[in-house]
Structure 1
């Protein structure tokens, strides 16, 4: 007899819900087996890791810059020359940053070329100094590459320094140049000149001029303006002044320009007009060089002051003609022996006739004790760097190298 199951009834007395639970269990087991067996075209765990590793490597490779930074001299180099050796370059990219510092943290200025392919220092390096170099370049994709290096410069066997005037911290007249005398003759003048930097407040163009191979003077085109502050950086340490001879001096010097005083001596009228700030301050009777011993014409700068000094004709080629041990109120105008000074032996020459051996004489007393005489007044109202200009003498214009007298060169000749 056939029995048809009644819809919704259980078979063989078992409820339908149990079939559902069994189906879920079996399905879960099959799913678990599939997941663990790696069938059906799915990646296994090891295959996925391998692909991930390959992807990471490719990504890293795509991020690496193609730019290459090169630094000369090579890392760790010693006895490196102070100029012409340090260079930084980039290939397959452009330099974006170059830093060169010594162990004290002092940076060397330099310039990256317009195309970014190279960097060169703006100045020489110091001697016996270790330098650290850090350089960065970018490729066409903007990815950076960096390089670091260090080296040490040479310790020179032969050196030079510059002896300078005026002194640091001094106040000087409007005609005072900054003058440097080197202890060795210089055969690389451009390199040495470049190593001396002058700045002023207010700003004015200052240029240097060589007198021979051991003296370099700096001045503006016109006399300094009163109150100008001048700062000079002598960056001579490491500069090669001549083959195998290096500077060993690094110093900053500052001085100030005082009030303006320019005195005009007329050798024919036997007078000196003292001008302060462009106005007549005082007129003083003088005597200048007699025939055969005429005073130089031209602009001369007071370079030294002596309350009392000895003047001996033997030292300037006038053998035996005079030897005065107590010349009062003397101020040097040339290296060859021209002074403006007190004169107690000149009688009535002052303002009347020329009686000296080339100096400019002002009336004084022996011992220089009288502050009221013209020589004492002028001495007390003058400073190193003031200008004394002589005109209408029968002698030629003073040699610009004879004393601090470069003002007798035109600006065109000074800067030539």
Structure 2
């Protein structure tokens, strides 16, 4: 019996191929994945890339061991895929990629690798707290435990979204503080979500973030109070309407109050104020200042005052703070200081005008509103 031939010429009587174009020929597309399969101690930024030669990438998936996908983008020519963000540290990843050649034949490749485990790390402490309701002046402010020398990488790893939508930009103060705010005060009722995806971000050479947090806060009613240091009054506006006009005393000659927009960052029903802590030597040490709310890091407060007699509404007598009439112990809820304390929240704004002092620096407290928007974004 004659035997069928294996691997014959594949030609007919006319000598032409009778196999369809591209029959069982392998794809000419070549997929390359970096880092190599089995690699460990892989850098979290810049090491992962997928490329195709003699073809175009049609599918790229990158997942960690929990099945979380890494987003990425494909070049317009289909030749290169890169992740759109950094990778997490100390994490195993799997890559699957497919490319097709000009004839539509597919070639696939897979690889697995593990990112580095950093020896040195940084985190960020932030305000406001998750779940809080704040005033319209409250920025999202992060203080880092290490000085940051790769600021743009860190800034990109913190994403702020809002409902309703508004543009929010970040600004660095020094190398360890990053604040986010919109151009103007938040709109009352705005819901803000902050995603801190710092795990694996190289903040400075050899120092990596290790933090993944989602922080949500809500902007409450709008309250902006305007202090006129010349007229010795403060108008408290709630949602644009004047609630109350309160007599005040601001900073006296030589110890004037800063001008500018200041955000309440701390509320204390009673606190000690000692001149030694803010450069005034032994000029005062009051152990029971009532209804105190911080306006600056350097020691500016708006607070109850039971010792200045007839100054309220008449003349400026403080060491730079804004004083409201109160009683010792703060027990009388009808006093102006008690009323204002009870009607204020963290993030409310106090604007000081007509003081014989300079404008407060934007980084002195949560007071970035004193920087023009164009400068803030640059």
Aligned to 1:76: 38
2:251 to 285, 289, 293: 289
Larger radius of gyration: 1
Q: What is the CA–CA distance in structure 2 between the aligned matches of 1:47 and 1:153, rounded to whole Å?
A: 55
Task: Decide whether the 8 Å contact of 2:22 with 2:103 is kept in 1.
Answer: no
Q: What is the CA–CA distance in structure 2 between the aligned matches of 1:77 and 1:71, rounded to whole Å?
A: 11
Aligned to 1:320: 282
Note the C-alpha offset of 1:49.
5.7
1:192 to 135, 150, 154: 154
Q: What is the CA–CA distance in structure 2 between the aligned matches of 1:56 and 1:356, rounded to whole Å?
A: 101
Note the C-alpha offset of 1:56.
12
Give TM-score, length-normalised by structure 1. Answer: 0.87
Q: What is the CA–CA distance in structure 2 between the aligned matches of 1:103 and 1:47, rounded to whole Å?
A: 51
The answer to whether 1:131 aligns with 2:88 is: no
Unaligned runs of 5+ in 2: 12-16
Q: What is the CA–CA distance in structure 2 between the aligned matches of 1:52 and 1:323, rounded to whole Å?
A: 104
Aligned to 2:14: none
Aligned to 2:297: 335
Aligned to 1:375: 337
Q: How far does the alpha carbon of each residue in 1:244-287 deviate from its partner, in whole angstroms, 9 at most, with x for none?
A: 10001111100000000000000000000001111211111100
1:199-348 equivalent positions in 2, closer than 5 A: 199-348=161-310
Aligned to 1:33: none
1:58-137 equivalent positions in 2, closer than 5 A: 62-137=24-99
- CA RMSD of the aligned region, Å? 1.8
Note the C-alpha offset of 1:52.
10
Stretch of structure 1 that moved more, 226-235 or 60-69: 60-69
Q: What is the CA–CA distance in structure 2 between the aligned matches of 1:109 and 1:312, rounded to whole Å?
A: 53
Note the C-alpha offset of 1:107.
1.0
Deviating above 3 A after TM superposition, structure 1's stretches of 4 or more consecutive aligned residues are 48-63
Aligned to 1:398: 360
The answer to whether 1:364 aligns with 2:326 is: yes
Aligned to 2:370: 408
SS state at 1:300 partner: strand
Q: What is the CA–CA distance in structure 2 between the aligned matches of 1:344 and 1:73, rounded to whole Å?
A: 69
Q: What is the CA–CA distance in structure 2 between the aligned matches of 1:263 and 1:161, rounded to whole Å?
A: 35
Note the C-alpha offset of 1:106.
1.1
How many pairs are equivalent?
Answer: 373
Unaligned runs of 5+ in 1: 1-35, 37-43
Q: What is the CA–CA distance in structure 2 between the aligned matches of 1:178 and 1:88, rounded to whole Å?
A: 36
Aligned to 2:349: 387
Note the C-alpha offset of 1:379.
0.3
1:174 to 136, 148, 169: 136
1:145 to 98, 107, 110: 107
Q: How far does the alpha carbon of each residue in 1:192-248 deviate from its partner, in whole angstroms, 9 at most, with x for none?
A: 001101110001000000000000000000100000000001110000000010001
Stretch of structure 1 that moved more, 387-396 or 54-63: 54-63
The structure that is helix-richer by fraction is 1
Q: What is the CA–CA distance in structure 1 between the aligned matches of 2:372 and 2:341, rounded to whole Å?
A: 29
Shift in alpha-carbon separation, 1:323–1:76, aligned structure 2, 3 A: same
SS state at 2:24 partner: helix
Note the C-alpha offset of 1:161.
0.2
Note the C-alpha offset of 1:144.
1.2
Note the C-alpha offset of 1:62.
3.4
Q: What is the CA–CA distance in structure 2 between the aligned matches of 1:323 and 1:105, rounded to whole Å?
A: 59
Q: What is the CA–CA distance in structure 1 between the aligned matches of 2:274 and 2:37, rounded to whole Å?
A: 63
Give TM-score, length-normalised by structure 2. Answer: 0.96
